[in-house]
Amino acid sequence: MRLIQHKREAFWFYRFLSLGYDRWVNPLFWTPAMRGLALDAARLEPGVKVLDAGAGTGFTTEGIVARVNAADVTMLDQSPHQLQRSRAKPALASCERVLGDAEALPFADDTFDRYVSAGSIEYWPDPQQGIAEAYRVTRPDGVALVIGPVRPANRVARALAEAWMLFPPAEDYTGWMEAAGFTDVRTVELAPDWYRDERVPYALAVSGVKPAPGPSPAARTAPVVEPKASPLKFAARFVAGSAAGAAFVPIAAVLALRARRERRAAT
């Protein structure tokens, strides 16, 4: 597992990242244009009941409630700090908020018409189990949508990414969805405007339809047990993983400035 691909490390990582997540992270890595394109794949419409798993500060949820009634949306996250930040957003006032684990969702089978998870799979110790849980809580003929990053082709970027958290190859996403039991699996490529590498997509939005009620055929009989770490080892993992993640911010900022200059020069 990667340095922050543990729930405990991710909890503390977002304890601090939540302070500037909407201001500094989303503008570079998860833009409104990317969000809109991804959510088209969820086939949202008024009247459907939606789970946003790994909702965080509610950036993706804001895109969801622009398409469905906020009172029909449930936000789930393991970070109380992220969910608390979401309460400052008036559009999300009617959303239900639940503290919980995306790999062990606290909901009955066949509860939601739509399942959305954006930027959460990177931190799941067992992605297949997380997607099996998405299948379980989605109603028959409902749509589940998982949005996440793709393994970089550039060697330096890949080394940083894979030290930090899970960056799956593109084919893993469709494999996990199909193994979980979803049909009509579709992918949409996503990227911020500064991304230039044509070898692999920056991120994917992968959707699928649940064909039958009940749990997923890929559900684990026993959960993956995260390895326990001493306080010193935990601190070392947390610092190293956070540093690897933080390195992406100035790199993306420089590339974003370059893209902005290119757009201005073109006009």
CA distance 117 to 146: 5
CA distance 73 to 114: 9
Judge whether 11 lies within some domain.
yes
SS3 70: helix
Judge whether 177 lies within some domain.
yes
Judge whether 237 lies within some domain.
yes
Judge whether 247 lies within some domain.
yes
Q: How many domains does the chain have?
A: 1
SS3 46: coil
pLDDT tens for 40-73 read 999 999 999 999 999 999 999 999 999 999 999 9
Buried b (16+ CB within 10 A) or exposed e, 231-255: eeeeeebbeebbebbebbeeebeeb
- CATH number, residue 106: 3.40.50.150
CA distance 133 to 53: 10
CA distance 212 to 222: 23
pLDDT tens for 220-240 read 876 555 556 667 766 665 566
Output Rg (C-alpha) for the chain, integer angstroms.
18
Placement of tokens 């798993």 in the chain? 53
Judge whether 1 lies within some domain.
no
Judge whether 2 lies within some domain.
no
The helix (run of H) or strand (run of E) holding residue 99 is: strand 96-99
Answer yes or no: are the C-beta atoms of 28 and 89 closer than 8 Å. no
Judge whether 108 lies within some domain.
yes
Domain enclosing residue 41, as ranges: 7-266
Task: Read off the pTM.
Answer: 0.83
What strand order describes the sheet that includes 50-53? 96-99, 73-77, 50-53, 112-118, 138-149, 203-209, 183-190
pLDDT given at position 9: 59
Answer yes or no: are the C-beta atoms of 122 and 148 closer than 8 Å. yes
CA distance 126 to 138: 19
Answer yes or no: are the C-beta atoms of 77 and 63 closer than 8 Å. no
Is residue 15 very low, low, confident or very high in pLDDT (cuts 50, 70, 90)? low
Q: What backbone torsions phi and psi does residue 207 show, to the nearest 5 degrees?
A: -120, 155
DSSP structure class, residue 67: T
pLDDT tens for 97-122 read 999 999 999 999 999 999 999 999 98
Judge whether 157 lies within some domain.
yes
CA distance 102 to 189: 23
